[in-house]
Structure 1
Amino acid sequence: MTTLQALQGFFQQAGPRMNAMADHIWSLAELRYAETASAALHQQALQQAGFRVQTHLADIPTAFVAEWGEGGPVLALLGEYDALSGLNQQSGALTCMPSSDSPGAAGHGCGHHLLGVAAHWAAIALAEHLRQTGQPGRVRFYGCPAEEGGSGKTFMARAGVFDDIDAALTWHPGSHTGVFSQSTLANIQAKFTFQGRAAHAAHSPHLGRSALDAVELMNVGVNYLREHMPPDARVHYAVTDSGGLSPNVVQARAQVLYLIRAADNQAAAQLYERVQNVARGAALMTECQLDIGFDKACSNLLQNSVLNQVMYQAMQALGRLQPDAQSHALAGQFQATLAASDLDSASRPLASVLRGQRPAIFEGISPYDPQAQDILSGSTDVADVSWIAPTAQAWVACYAFGTPLHSWQMVAQGQSPLAHAGMERAARILTATAIRLLQQPELLTQARQELLQRRGGQPYVCPIPAQAALPFLQG
């Protein structure tokens, strides 16, 4: 009998409760650093399961750690529960239809309601394994807020909360199943606030100094900069304050938020300096004052082939996903709402598995190649944990194949039976991976050696300066 077979009753008993918890968090849909109800729900359930809970981790009200066990290796399970602005959506709707109870509010367009609950579920299952076997070891569930636009784990890493763990495991909901084997981009996010001088735009425009002009000039300057950036770099912006609603007033204040991505921390810092210089030029041209507020940052992800192999073998042992006919039919309906480019983007990296087919649900496991050098153009604050301790992640199919991240279709499928089935599969993968690491501690030693090798002798240096305030404390 395998370890997971021994825990089969636990998973069957806990399943409905965990599905209900995920659905509750889906309905809460709280933004970065405001996930008060979601964090409290996790904390309460873990305390009831016998975990020791420490709240306000790293001085963040919605960050916490829950620990069970004594002695032995420390295995971390990373959970998230934050949502995305403006992605509120009616569950199950096959058109973009904001929910009537909270139109325009946040939505779980990246599946973090599932992510946190599966990691939570795996933590309790691992604690049950330790209880049944009497094996030494400590399991920690880290409640990590603000992955979306807040780099909560990076602030937590700056505070040293991951320094004593032996390995970290997590996953991400998606439309296929496989090891998260790509590197990711480092990033820096900052606010650029311009202060000008108000004036009557018709009577005395010469007396005004337009902060909105400065924002527009900065955006134009950065657009010219794009030609001269490294090809893997990305720069995004959002005008967060346009200076008011009156066109007959020269706007005295305006603000733009920039997110700058590059291959690693050094490249991101260099590109950030160039963007700052563009902003300084815009301020000079418009005779405005400029304030640059560092918001957050995260590192590039370091892969760990030792842990990845263990996780991949756990996936193979579980076998293929076996959704029912109803899930297939619903997935087909959602897939019909996607653009051809969505399916092309999802199919390209899986061409060797799909062989020209585009199933409504990806039921298999994508091959893992430890020699691959792929880069995911997005970013994740899991990366900062990966510099501190060996880290592995899984993709698990919870949505119709091809469903893009941060889309209304993803939100609409977040309470479906397929989403629940994928969440349970993720919990089993994480649990099986963790148990094997406890049973074969030499794997943890090998994984640590690989981490040191990949760091190339460099220590972890948090990309967020020590003096940078947490985003929710900034003025």
Structure 2
Amino acid sequence: MKNTDAIWDIIDGRTSTFTALSDEVWDAPELSFQEKRAAQAHRRVLETEGFRVEAGVADIPTALCGQAGEGSPVIAILGEFDALPGLSQKAGTAVQVPLEPNGSGHGCGHNMLGSASLLAATAVKEWLSENNVKGTVRYYACPAEEGGSAKGFMVRNGVFDDVDIAICWHPAPFTGVNKPFSLACVELEFVFSGRASHAAAAPHLGRSALDAVELMNVGVNYLREHMPPTARMHYALIDGGGVAPNVVQARAVVRHLIRAATLSEMWSLVDRVRKVAHGAAMMTETQVTERQLAGDANLVGNETLESAMDAAMRRLGPVRFDEEDKAFAARIQETLSREDIVASYRRFGLKPKTDESLSEDIYPLGAGSQDFVGSTDVGTVSWVVPTVQCRVACYAVGTPGHSWQLVAQGKSPAAHKGMIHAAKIMAATAVDLLADEALIHSAKAEHGAYRSENDFANPIGPDVVLDLNIALH
């Protein structure tokens, strides 16, 4: 095997460009499918680094693919760069200070995620060239992971059909290759239509769409006792029918997000939610229509790839932080509850510590809990391509995801150290695979065996219409 760990020297020589890219994306947080500045910044770096760039992948304006090398195998490294609403926050402070009222912020660390993945792809590109190794590396800049399911649309479009292996990561409080488990999910929008009337003079002539939404939400809440324990359901009121209480609301809109451990469990719950919606319409003599906005499959693991990534991670060692990093993380922890910190450990299946602000360990391969997980559109990719991902410590232990505290740490030296470490892990995993195609064959055989026993239908079906304004409604 070639000296694959030389890839780390390549990364060490290029860190400034990519930490600057991460900070640039942090500075201009953009919501799902609106990431025009982030996409342009990633494209600029791709072109500067000599990648062949395709924009508008899968008819998504902010999706990009940068490619280098020639022939097989094809290794894809996945990146993201979308932000979250309502999480605007000043960087580098342990006090909640929004930069913009109700503004957006990188509360899931996707500014780091995309930048580290692009750094890894750039290093692999250089390694292929320096070692005259046959193979192709692709960087996929994937928008709208937060509720937009862009990767599901990309899968539907055939973007990953010729990819052999997909690699990715996510910022976290801990470092390791965790249990590959996520919840399948689908997001549906229900539009109720009724009849307006004067709420005092002629209420009997009105048919309230808002009443229907409220009844639907109550009915869905009653389902919670009668669903699998790992399932989750959430809702958001999109349109309450206006601001005039003296008008019977003729239109109201609600979104429901339904999650379950498997696609079959999820679709079963969706059928029940639909019945509740139609029941609410019957009770209020309104009409209801629905549309699907997004949907993700659950993650499919691959032990061959997970072992390879874990081995690369242990050769590299854990992230190392200095005393200033730990001091800032400790100040962040002072804004959290003990429950936040304990839950952080429990999510990763770890024993809580009482004096740890930043983690400098590598947790055991396959650690993690199925009780504390969300959803990701990486899951859909994992059904069509053998996929592996790791978590890397970038922020204080206990920091809740989708919080101002995470945004505040997104440009910190600790965040930069974590994202560079992640790039090294992903790049080393990629070149280990490129240098030993038997690993790729084993990973693909494992994936094929799983697929032969498990049916798959992309939750982004042929009738789901891409809504580029999903985050703006």
In the alignment, structure 1 residue 425 sits paired with structure 2 residue 427: no
Q: Distance in 2 between matches of 1:428 and 1:70?
A: 22
The aligned residue for residue 364 of structure 1 is 361
1:59 corresponds to which residue?
59
Partners of 1:76 and 1:459 in 2: CA distance:
24
Q: CA deviation at 1:4?
A: 6.0
2:347 and 2:372 in contact (8 A); partners too: no
CA contact (8 A) 1:80 1:144 kept: yes
Letter in 2 for 1:38: A
Letter in 2 for 1:63: A
Match of 1:299 in 2: 297
Percent identity at matched positions?
A: 47
1:350 to partner: Cα distance: 5.4
Kindly indicate whether residue 435 of structure 2 is the aligned counterpart of residue 439 of structure 1: yes
Counterpart contact for 1:185–1:375, Cα < 8 Å: no
Q: Which amino acid aligns with 1:361?
A: L
Q: Secondary structure at the match of 2:90?
A: coil
The equivalent of 2:192 in structure 1 is 194
Say if 1:385 and 1:8 are closer, same or farther in 2 by CA, change over 3 A: closer
Q: Within the alignment, does 1:461 sit opposite 2:461 as a pair?
A: no
Kept in 2: contact 1:79–1:142 (CA 8 A): yes
Task: Give per-residue Cα distances to partners, 1:168-195, cap 9 Å, x unaligned.
Answer: 0000001100113231110010100101
Compute the displacement of 1:156 (Å).
Answer: 0.6
Identify if the C-alpha distance between structure 1 residues 223 and 145 changes in structure 2 by more than 3 Å, giving closer, same or farther: same
Task: Report what 2:28 is aligned to.
Answer: 28
Comparing 2-11 with 27-36, greater Cα deviation is found at: 2-11
Task: Write the distance in 1 (CA, Å) between the matches of 2:165 and 2:132.
Answer: 20
How many residue pairs get aligned? The number is: 471
SS in 1 for 2:468: helix
After TM superposition, the structure 1 = structure 2 runs for residues 252-271 of structure 1, keeping only pairs within 5 Å, are: 252-271=250-269
One of 387, 391, 395 as aligned partner of 1:395 = 391
* 1:97 matches 2:97: yes
> What residue is the counterpart of 1:86 in the other structure?
86
Q: Of residues 282, 285, 306 in structure 2, which corresponds to 1:284?
A: 282
Are the equivalent residues in 1 in contact too, given 2:230–2:370 (CA < 8 A)?
Answer: no
With the length of structure 1 as denominator, give the TM-score of the two structures: 0.96
Q: Deviations over 1:25-70 (max 9, x none)?
A: 0011110011111111111211121111111111111112111000
User: For residues 184-333 of structure 1, what are the structure 2 equivalents within 5 Å?
Assistant: 184-333=182-331
Tell me, in whole angstroms, the C-alpha distance in 2 between the residues paired with 1:473 and 1:31. 9
Matched position secondary structure for 2:24 = helix
Contact residue 15 and residue 424 of structure 1 kept, 8 A: yes
Corresponding residue for residue 48 of structure 1: 48
SS in 2 for 1:147: coil
Residue identity opposite 1:431 in structure 2: A
Task: Measure how far apart 1:351 and its partner are.
Answer: 6.4
Q: Supply the distance in 2 between the matched residues of 1:79 and 1:336 (Cα, whole angstroms).
A: 31
Change (3 A) 1:351 1:218: closer
Instruction: Note the residue ranges of structure 1 that are not aligned, 5 or more in a row.
Output: none
Q: CA contact under 8 A between 1:388 and 1:460: conserved in structure 2?
A: no
Cα distance change on mapping 1:196 and 1:460 into 2, 3 Å: same
TM-score with structure 2 setting the length: 0.96
Q: Aligned pair in 2 of structure 1 residues 8, 380: CA closer, same or farther (>3 Å)?
A: closer
Counterpart residue number, 1:163: 161
Partner residue in 2 for 1:384: 380
Q: Counterpart in 1 of 2:120?
A: 122
**What secondary structure, in the 3-state scheme, does the structure 1 residue paired with 2:140 have?**
strand
In the TM superposition, what are the counterparts of 1:171-182 in structure 2 within 5 Å?
171-182=169-180
SS at match of 1:472: coil
- Aligned-pair CA distance for 1:3: 4.2
Tell me, yes or no, if structure 1 residue 11 matches structure 2 residue 7: no
* Amino acid in the other structure paired with 1:303: G
SS in structure 1 of the partner of residue 14 of structure 2:
helix
**Counterpart amino acid of 1:331?**
A
Q: Deviation per CA, 1:92-132, whole angstroms, max 9, x where unpaired?
A: 22122211xx3211110000000000000000000000010
Taking only aligned residues, the RMSD between alpha carbons, in angstroms, comes to 1.8
Superposed CA deviations along residues 347-394 of structure 1, whole A, max 9, x for unmatched, are 235565x56444011001001148x88465311100111111110001
Map of 2:340 onto structure 1: 342
What is the alpha-carbon distance in structure 2 between the residues aligned to residue 405 and residue 473 of structure 1?
A: 24
Quote how far apart the aligned CAs of 1:231 are: 1.3
Gaps of 5+ in 2: none
Shifted more, 238-247 versus 180-189: the winner is 180-189
